[in-house]
Structure 1
Amino acid sequence: MLIGPKAAPRRPAYARQHRRQALTVALAVVLGLTAAACSGATTSNDAASSTTVSGPEQQQVEAIARDAMTKYNLKSLIVRVTTDGQDTYTGALGESMTGVPATPDMQVRNGFVAYTYLTTMLLQFVDQKKISLDDRLSKYLPDLPQADAVTIEMLANSTSGYADYVYQPAVTDGTYLDPFRQWTTGELITIGTSAPPTFPPGTNWAYSHTNYAILGTVLAKVGGKPLSELMSEYIVGPMGLKHTHGSDTPQIPEPVLHTFSSERRETLGVPPDKPFYEESTFWNPSWTAPEGALQTTDVTDLTTSIQAVGEGTLLSPESHRAQVDPNLAGFGHPAQGCAACAQNTAEHSFGMAVLLQGPWIGGNKLYAGSGAIVGYLPPKKLAIAVVTSYQPAGFDDQGNVKDAGAAVLASLSKALAPDSPLPG
């Protein structure tokens, strides 16, 4: 579900790209936006805001949010903007469920953001001399295919060549036929590594969830504890994340932002002319991240954590540069049979599980009818988090939804950082 830089297809990298909408980060989603068609959305635009909307910046954010509700057929929209950690705007529009207003403190799945946490933890281990980016995977998981050729760095920056398990029919079809199934990290790794490699290790770039399933397993081995405990010790605690919770089940702490989806329309054979819109809040996310890295959060922690990543507060300067510098710029190329293979550029590239867009650092997920996207601009210490859910009109005839959060983030970047907006 990650897509690559701008040259890659806009849709997440799925075996059937016209059907699959899932937890995702993707430069092409963020950058290759096509606006959703406007419609007569009926969701309330009344705001639940913890920020007094009085200054020009707050008014700009509010206006962009209200416009997006109708323009992108949103059921809810939650936005937080901070400058150097101080609140500029925090507010919510629309509804969680019918008659239940969305509020800024509602819990959502953080998706790809947890992958960013994995690489942050990895680089802390590097700083502590517990592991090296140059280590071969065979040092930790010798039984995996190509373990002698794949390095830890290749897992972190998605250049290993391991096939994405999301492409494989067992997962592509299985997650829609039974969205409540509990997957294990081990079976997902087996599915991904049993498929033919996408390319020889270190010779190209393509996002693959398999990399991060393996990386999570390595980190637990190096740290000597379950990954969930390491997440608390190395990420949640040090970053001061007060509203981020781990669970390897579909459970979400209250208050919950409920989500709804039409994504299974084609799988279930529902004709395009028939209404189809189901609750997806408690679909099982176990296939989206390794055990111990599945989390829920809120917009406050999303802005807090992306600033911590953007500033490198938990890392040495060298490790921070390894994570967020455009070290892959110019690397990678489209390849036949590899929908996610793409070239990284100076403006649009992939770090170690972070999206690099000009001076902006961020990440993005789209899963089960809900989106969450973050962006951080280091020179201004500007952090933005956007969370979305969708009305029925937000889905096309095949059940796909376009990522409105990326469009909202782009608009906010232009308004709040006109000299350094997100690259087009």
Structure 2
Amino acid sequence: MGRYRTPTVLAAASLLLTALCAGQAPAAAPPGRIDIDPVIAEQLDDAITAAMRKADIPGVGIGLWIDGEDPYVRAFGTSDKATGVPIKTDMHTRVGSVTKTFTITGVLQLVDEGKVRLDAPISTYLDGVPGGDKITVRQLAEMRSGLYDYTQDPRMLAAYQADPQREWSPQELLDIAFRHPANFPPDARWEYSNTNTVLLGLLVEKVGGQPLHTYLEQHVLAPADLNSTSLPTGSEIASPFVHGYTNFTPDGATVDASTWNPSWAWAAGAVISTIDDLHSWVPTLVTGKLPDGDRLLEPGTQAQRLRMLPTGHPGVGYGLGIAEIDGWIGHNGELPGYETIAVRLPQDRATLVIVVNTDVDGKFGNLSSLIATTVTKIVTPEHVWGLPSAAQPNGVPEPSASSTPAPNPKPSS
């Protein structure tokens, strides 16, 4: 739900991404079960590397874990085109809109503490939101507020493209959004907007009494044992890290964006993590239970989180900062140089994490979706990752291009 497409769009968070095939599907596992035996593993290896060659993807990190079974964890290609250092699954990467799952977990924890009410207007907690007396906290988390997505603003995109090291404050981002009228009345329909999650980040800060990065570290990341996950306060990224490649540049040249400042995405798309941490996080996100068995959220709150509402796109539902795509529950993300998918298929007890270090999608569409579709065609043929093209998150048009706003924004996530 939050993605950033170089040729046409920039979005700070991405969840609904176009699902494309990698050509003819290899032999699939029997429907209804996942069994990654050596034959299936070899088919996955061959299919993923073929898709990488076809789409010119520098590196892919992937993990597929089935509870109680041997996992399929691989890294293909390079993390750094300048040095040829191979990509590894413990490397840090920018996860884009997967960030929303952490921010909104913080909101829901405050709900459990009785400090925030999901159905209270956002004006109860924050001033200055146009129509804020009619937009609820729940509608922000469900992407049903109607507020304009600041990452769709051509001037914002032009400024970011001209200076990717620029530091953006949350209020600057909201000021951009609020210069535009709302796209529809609250709860009239679903539309992905990074503005919603920036507001929720400020809500956590005000009610939680701490900067967002500190609150998440103490209340979400540490309890979940996510030692390699953080919300940066600048352009820093911990080593070792995956270099990400983008062509969101004035001349369209492909460059290394790994040290670009993600502050424009902030609560909606700036988190850094690893495949290993995301493997641990996704089951916690989907069940509400921590690895030690304690609860991250109360059962009733978790149930509300997982109440998937229609988005207007077949096979795609959205809850409270979490999505369901053909049975896979979690989130995806895209920002300049990076694409991520972190999802779980509960009925098969399967967790899938994919990291791709380029967002130069070209004719193949979203590249993380390309890999996810390739993998799920083989291992979960009854639950193939896929979205209609109309559902792909076309966040923000480039300054020189026009695009139809889609459910997701995109300079990050």
Sort the TM-score into its range (normalised by shorter chain). 0.7 to 0.9
* Counterpart selection for 1:91 from 54, 60, 74: 74
Give the conservation status (yes or no) of the 8 Å contact 1:366–1:403: no
The 1-side partners of 2:280 and 2:300 are apart by: 22
Partner of 2:2: 2
Partner of 1:288: 265
- In the alignment, does 2:53 pair up with 1:70? yes
Q: 1:23 to 1:374 in 2, by over 3 A?
A: same
The 1-side partners of 2:198 and 2:68 are apart by: 31
The 1-side partners of 2:12 and 2:177 are apart by: 17
Three-state SS of the structure 1 residue aligned to 2:96 is coil
Partner of 1:343: 312
Q: 1:85 to 1:117 in 2, by over 3 A?
A: farther
Give the conservation status (yes or no) of the 8 Å contact 1:119–1:323: no
The 2-side partners of 1:148 and 1:281 are apart by: 39
By how many angstroms is 1:102 displaced? 1.3
Give the conservation status (yes or no) of the 8 Å contact 2:323–2:330: yes
Listed one character per residue, the Cα deviations across residues 200-242 of structure 1 (whole Å, up to 9, x for unaligned) are 1221211111111100001111112221121012211122212
By how many angstroms is 1:385 displaced? 0.7
Q: 1:64 to 1:318 in 2, by over 3 A?
A: farther
Normalised by the size of structure 2, how large is the TM-score? 0.82
* Counterpart selection for 1:191 from 176, 200, 223: 176
Q: How does 1:2-401 map to 2 (within 5 A)?
A: 2=2, 18-27=7-16, 29-31=17-19, 33=20, 55-84=38-67, 88-98=71-81, 99-264=84-249, 267-268=250-251, 276-290=253-267, 294-313=270-289, 314-326=296-308, 328-329=309-310, 343-345=312-314, 347-390=315-358, 396=362
Structure of higher RCO (CA pairs closer than 8 Å, 6+ residues apart): 2
Partner of 2:293: none
Q: 1:87 to 1:223 in 2, by over 3 A?
A: farther
By how many angstroms is 1:287 displaced? 0.4
Partner of 1:50: none
By how many angstroms is 1:93 displaced? 1.0
By how many angstroms is 1:323 displaced? 1.6
Structure 2's unaligned 5+ residue stretches are: 24-35, 290-295, 388-413
The 2-side partners of 1:57 and 1:308 are apart by: 27
Q: Which AA in structure 2 matches 1:389?
A: N
Q: 1:121 to 1:303 in 2, by over 3 A?
A: same
The 2-side partners of 1:348 and 1:299 are apart by: 24
Partner of 1:44: none
Which deviates the most, 409-418 or 207-216?
A: 409-418
Q: 1:370 to 1:401 in 2, by over 3 A?
A: farther
Q: How does 1:405-416 map to 2 (within 5 A)?
A: 405-416=368-379
The 1-side partners of 2:322 and 2:139 are apart by: 14
Give the conservation status (yes or no) of the 8 Å contact 1:76–1:96: yes
By how many angstroms is 1:96 displaced? 1.6
The 1-side partners of 2:259 and 2:148 are apart by: 27
Give the conservation status (yes or no) of the 8 Å contact 1:242–1:301: yes
**Identity over the aligned pairs, expressed in percent?**
27
The 2-side partners of 1:123 and 1:222 are apart by: 12
Partner of 2:292: none
The 2-side partners of 1:86 and 1:173 are apart by: 48
The 2-side partners of 1:315 and 1:86 are apart by: 27
Normalised by the size of structure 1, how large is the TM-score? 0.80
By how many angstroms is 1:61 displaced? 3.1
Give the conservation status (yes or no) of the 8 Å contact 2:13–2:194: no
Q: 1:86 to 1:252 in 2, by over 3 A?
A: farther
Structure 1 runs of 4+ off > 6 angstroms?
Answer: none
Give the conservation status (yes or no) of the 8 Å contact 1:94–1:101: yes
The 1-side partners of 2:248 and 2:137 are apart by: 34
The 1-side partners of 2:215 and 2:95 are apart by: 17
Give the conservation status (yes or no) of the 8 Å contact 2:10–2:157: no
Three-state SS of the structure 2 residue aligned to 1:80 is strand
RMSD (Å), alpha carbons? 2.5
Partner of 1:273: none
By how many angstroms is 1:88 displaced? 0.3
Partner of 1:334: none
The 2-side partners of 1:58 and 1:349 are apart by: 30
Q: Which AA in structure 2 matches 1:322?
A: Q
Give the conservation status (yes or no) of the 8 Å contact 2:11–2:151: no
Three-state SS of the structure 2 residue aligned to 1:173 is helix
Partner of 2:410: none
